[in-house]
Amino acid sequence: SEEPAALILLGAYQTNEENNRQLAKAIATQKIPTLDISHSMDNRFVIQQLKLRRQLAEKHMKAVYRQRYITGSGYDAEIQHWVLKEIYGWLDSVGL
């Protein structure tokens, strides 16, 4: 099967700590460009894993990895609009 051109994560997490570590390592070691978006209202597992994901991406010298952290009171229309603009802008910046 064909490899995807990009990976966009929105509040991604697994339900236990070991699985979250495995997810962070998988994100860091795969080659496709990755945009990792999280929100201050996300599950605690998401918030806890941001630093690990960034560290592993740097350790494995992942060429294109960007983390974006959204603050606010929830996923209202304004936040959804911002997320869409962020995704389209990022895809354009990596040539997709």
Residue 3 DSSP code:
P
Integer Cα distance of 94 and 5 in angstroms: 10
Position 44 scores a pLDDT of 84
10-residue averages of pLDDT along the chain (96 residues)? 91 90 94 94 87 95 93 82 94 95
Q: C-alpha angle 73/78/93, rounded to 5°?
A: 115
pTM over 0.85: yes
Cα-trace Rg, the chain: 13
Position 38 scores a pLDDT of 93
Position 24 scores a pLDDT of 94
- N residues, the chain: 96
Position 5 scores a pLDDT of 95
Integer Cα distance of 93 and 78 in angstroms: 22
